Every structure is written in C-alpha cells, then in structure tokens.
Amino acid sequence: MLRRQIATVDLSTGEVSKAPLPPEWRRRYLGGRGINMLLLYSRYPPVDPLSPHNPLIFGCGLLTGLPGFGSGRMNITAYSPASGNLGDSNVGGHFGPELRFAGYDHLIVTGRSPHPTYLLIRDDAVEIRDASHLWGLNTLETQQALRREVGDERLRVLAIGPAGERGVRMASIITGPKDAAGRFGMGAVMGSKNLKAVAVKGSRDLTVAHPRELLSHIRQQYEGLWKRKWIQTLGRLGTPRLMAPANEGGWLLTRNDQGGPLGERGRAIYAESLEPYSLGMASCFGCTVHCRHRHLVKGGPRGEGPEYSVFAWMGANLEVLNTEFIIRASDLLNAYGMDVMDTMVMIAFAFELYQRGIIPRSLAGMPLEWGDGEAVLALIHQMAHREGLGDILAEGSYSLKRLPPEAEPYLMRVRNALVGPAPGGRVVKSFGMGHAVATIGGHLHRNRPGVDVLRLPPQVLQELYGGPVSSDYRSYEGKARMVWWHELLYAVCDSLGFCRFQTVFNSPHAPQYPEYRELIRLALGWDMSVEELREAGERIYVESDADIAAAS
C-alpha cells in the first residue's frame, strides 16, 4: 500500500507526469488531507483561485479503500474562490478507493484547457479527452454519459454541473447521486480549468501486511459498532436524526438567525418525515452503517439523501416545513453541483434583504417570503445559471460588492469571508468557538465536538479529553480543550481516509487513536504509537508554510 504514485496533469500543455510518493511523507502527514496540505503549501504560492495557476489536488487517505471505518473518503484541495484562502473539501462514495485501485494516492491538476476536457484514468493510462459534448450537462447526466462512452457501468466519476462551469463560488464536485466535495468552491476551480470530470477505473490490488488479522480486526469492530445505539439510529434515520435534538435543544437557525427554535412546527421535518419517500438505505465504500436514504418523489428521479444540512439550512432556516420540497431542493443542488450550506445561506440572506426592503421585487423577480419552497427552487436555478438576482448571490461573500451597503450586516459569514456558519454557534459554545478558530473558518466538520450536546457525565468527558470539561453545552468551561482535541483527531481521520461519523463525532465510544493505530499496524506493518498519531494531527494542523516547505 505504500508504493503509491502522484500523477500531475497540466491541462495547459497536455503533459502528464508521475512520481512515487516519498515514504517519509507518510510518517509525518499520513495521506489524504495531510499530504494535500503539504503539496499545496510547499509547491504552489497563493494565487487568484480562478486562475490557471491554482492547483486542484485530489488526495486519498492512507487507508482509503480498506473494508472498514467508512474508508471511502478523500480530500480535494485548492485555494478557495469562496474565501480567497484555503479550500479543502472531504468527499465520500466510491471514487477515492477506485483511484487507489488504479495506483494513485494523489492527483494534481494544473493549468487550463483551451476547451472542455475530462480525464480518464485506467491504471497506467491517464488520458485528457474532449468534453465539449458534456458541457452543459448536470452532474448525474455527465456520469451516465461517461459510463456509456467508456462502456463501463462501474466507472467512478467526479463531475461538475452548470454551477461549476459558470464559476459559481459555492460550486461543488459530485460523485454518485449525492456525494459532494461541497464547500469552498472546488467545483468553480474545476470549471475554471475547463475540466468537466475525472473518471477512473482501477484493477490493482491493495496489498496489506497482515490480511487475516486485518479482516478479523475489522469484523470485531463491525460487531462492536452495530451494538451502539447511535450507529443503529444512523442506519435507520440517517443524519436527519439530528433535527429533533437540534430543534428541541434550541440551536437551529430560523429566518437567517432572526427567529428562535421552530418548536412543535419543527416536527414536520423530523427524520421520520422521510420514511414515506425512502426506498432503503445506502452507504459509501467500506461502510457498515448505511446512513443515507435512497428516495423517490413523485415526478422526480431516484436520488440519495437528503442530509441534515438540507433540513437545517432550508427546512428550518427558510421555514420550508415540507419534506418533499426539501428532497427536491437537495436533488436539484446535487444535479447543478452546488453546496447546500452556502447556497441556502445566500438564499436566506436574500429573503431577509427582501423582508427589510433592501432589495426590490424587481431585482428578486418574485416575492421572497419565508416558507415559500417554490421561491427557493427558483433561486437555486437562477444561481446555478447566473441569472437575475442569482448572479449576485452566486458570488457568495463577494456579493456585497454588488449590493447596497446596508445589506452587509445580514450576511452570515465567518472572518468576513466564508458564508455559512452552522446552526448552534450561539447556544452550543464549543460549536461557536470551532467555527471561529478552525483552519478554515466556519468549517462545520474541522473541529466540531458533536458529543458536547449529549450531556455526558463530567468524569467521562475528563477521561476523554484529559482535563475538566463542562457537560453543559451552554458553558464555556473546558470547551477550548474540546475543540483542540477534535481538531487533531479529525486531521488524522481525514488523512487516513475515514468517515467522521465513525469517530468521536457521535459518541465517546467510537473508534479513535488506538483503533487507528492497530489498523495501521495490520495494514502497513508499521508500529506507530498513539502519540505519533497525535503529533501527525498537530503537524497537519499547525505547521507554518515555511515549515511545510522545509519538510518537503
């Protein structure tokens, strides 16, 4: 597993090069997000995110592709069009493992093609192909078209839709029906390169050091996980299960954070409201949890999801208390290739500006009334195609340059750049602190201590975090320790290629450093200590650009 390659594709010249991944990088940065950070900062100085000089880096985790811990995840990294700073999105599904099966742990795309292209990777063959016939298709249509063109239904594809083609600053990259490298505008970077898709099919094995012991260990972990209530609930209700505690705990946004909790009205969009539309549950590669719904609404396509984020940012924040509208919005966002959170924050922003008379109906093109699902769907379409008011909203925080100055206080953002702080920052003190200090400000999953809302006994929290932490999520006591602890653990989690939901995001009994250490030993033959893993997480998080450049 350690004899992996980095492939670099220059779309301006058409050159493709390959190089072995230096073994010393593994001990220091593991893989995935860690090595992506190393590559970005050591090789590419900050640039205009939409220029040809911005690299787009795809990185698989050190253990991506193993049958366990939801190991289908990878990171996509570049300078962000949404903020002008670091952009880094984590995505699941099946693409990451397939890239590893083709022999590559990292793929770097630079330059800009003079015409629409896509990459086709099949083991040693890395081809740049014309994609003019794909330009304008949505993400699902693009994936289907490429499978037909290549003649392989098992081809794994990352694609952009109309939003990425038009440089929408919250454009995402989609694989499968809904797996999204969603935030920070990675789809806009891909579109700026005239790169419509990356398709991969691999046929190589991942060789492990101790295969029998590894399978036995993973089986034991599965058996343990499935005894946990939080895993059973995820496998039945998916992430929308969080709607009930969020509403009843008082940390849902409503009306662009003007209103309080939905109260009894919120029950209309609790997780159980999905059941009439659900066709069963699905999972990413290497996952036993199956946390996403397969769904069907009348007149719509079969899809997957929606996740908690759509219920919270559309259902609660925009007060669209109709599950069918939420499903339709989720499907539309995935097809257009747009981030759920940032898109819904911008639409809530527009609704409040309309409410306060800051933008007229002539600009909006329609009334923007809280709870109007049709208006939400119309604005999604306008943003994806940069039409009317949607052309302004598609600029994210940069939209303020095109709006009256009195609009500025109503845009929910972090560090005056990235839109979309998560619900709960005022109520759950660790959430608010995490938004502010994350390596990417406002990043929901960079350091979020999800267990803070479980009201665990103080002794459990002290044992977990190594110091006193209040069990009251409204308290500030010990929350800096929590956020720092989670920041490091999640850096390791992303760099190994594991799912956040199968670590201490949901439960103090979930896998963490000792389990990761054992998996590394069995898969790679390394005897890496818990402390070394922690140090790797801290290195990924805190090293300066100069230190990273020197280490490379």
Instruction: Provide the pLDDT for residue 416.
Output: 65
Instruction: Provide the pLDDT for residue 68.
Output: 76
Asked if 414 and 436 count as a contact pair (C-beta separation under 8 A), the reply is: yes
pLDDT of 386-410, one tens digit each? 999 999 999 999 999 999 999 999 9
Instruction: Provide the pLDDT for residue 74.
Output: 97
Q: How many CB atoms lie within 10 A of CB 417?
A: 17
Instruction: Provide the pLDDT for residue 422.
Output: 60
**Helix/strand/coil (H, E, C) string of 483-530?**
HHHHHHHHHHHHHHCCCHHHCCCCCCCCCCHHHHHHHHHHHHCCCCCH
| Distance (Å, whole) CA 396 – CA 3 | 41
Per DSSP, the three-state class of 473 is coil
| Distance (Å, whole) CA 526 – CA 519 | 9
State mean pLDDT over 113-121.
98
Instruction: Provide the pLDDT for residue 426.
Output: 79
Instruction: Provide the pLDDT for residue 162.
Output: 98
| Distance (Å, whole) CA 375 – CA 371 | 9
Instruction: Provide the pLDDT for residue 450.
Output: 87
**Structure tokens given for 458:** 């103080």
State mean pLDDT over 440-445.
79
Instruction: Give the type of residue at 74.
Output: M
Q: Is residue 548 predicted with pLDDT exceeding 80? A: no
pLDDT of 147-157, one tens digit each? 999 999 999 99
| Residue 231 burial (C-beta neighbours within 10 Å; 0-12, 13-18, 19+) | buried
State mean pLDDT over 110-135.
98
Instruction: Provide the pLDDT for residue 223.
Output: 83
Q: Is residue 340 predicted with pLDDT exceeding 90? A: yes
Q: What percent of the chain has pLDDT over 90?
A: 76
The full DSSP string for 122-188 is ETTEEEEEE-TTTTT--HHHHHHHHHHHHT-TT-EEEE--HHHHTT-TTB-EEETTTEEE-STTHHH
Measure Cα distances from 377 to 112, 354, 367 in Å.
32, 17, 13
Higher pLDDT, 1 or 85: 85
- pLDDT tier, 119 (very low <50, low <70, confident <90, very high otherwise): very high
Measure Cα distances from 499 to 35, 163, 361 in Å.
18, 27, 44
Q: Is residue 551 predicted with pLDDT exceeding 50? A: no
**Structure tokens given for 479:** 């929350």
Instruction: Provide the pLDDT for residue 417.
Output: 67
Q: Is residue 552 predicted with pLDDT exceeding 60? A: no
Q: Is residue 70 predicted with pLDDT exceeding 90? A: no
What 8-state DSSP symbol labels residue 311?
Answer: I
State mean pLDDT over 354-379.
96
Q: Is residue 545 predicted with pLDDT exceeding 60? A: no
State mean pLDDT over 89-111.
97
- pLDDT tier, 252 (very low <50, low <70, confident <90, very high otherwise): confident
Q: Is residue 380 predicted with pLDDT exceeding 80? A: yes
Q: Where are the alpha helices (DSSP H) in 59-138?
A: 95-101
Q: Is residue 12 predicted with pLDDT exceeding 60? A: yes
**Structure tokens given for 154:** 């098992």
| Distance (Å, whole) CA 504 – CA 254 | 28
pLDDT of 280-337, one tens digit each? 999 999 888 889 999 999 888 889 999 999 999 999 999 999 999 999 999 999 999 9
Instruction: Provide the pLDDT for residue 1.
Output: 61
In this structure, the chain runs to a length of 552
Per DSSP, the three-state class of 526 is coil
**Structure tokens given for 401:** 């340059």
Q: Is residue 207 predicted with pLDDT exceeding 60? A: yes
Round the average pLDDT of the chain to a whole number and report it. Answer: 92
Q: Is residue 440 predicted with pLDDT exceeding 90? A: no
Q: Is residue 11 predicted with pLDDT exceeding 50? A: yes
Q: Is residue 505 predicted with pLDDT exceeding 80? A: yes
Residue listed under structure tokens 């609660």 = 316
Measure Cα distances from 308 to 238, 241, 375, 461, 528 in Å.
8, 7, 21, 26, 36
Per DSSP, the three-state class of 389 is helix
Higher pLDDT, 357 or 421: 357
| Distance (Å, whole) CA 2 – CA 525 | 10
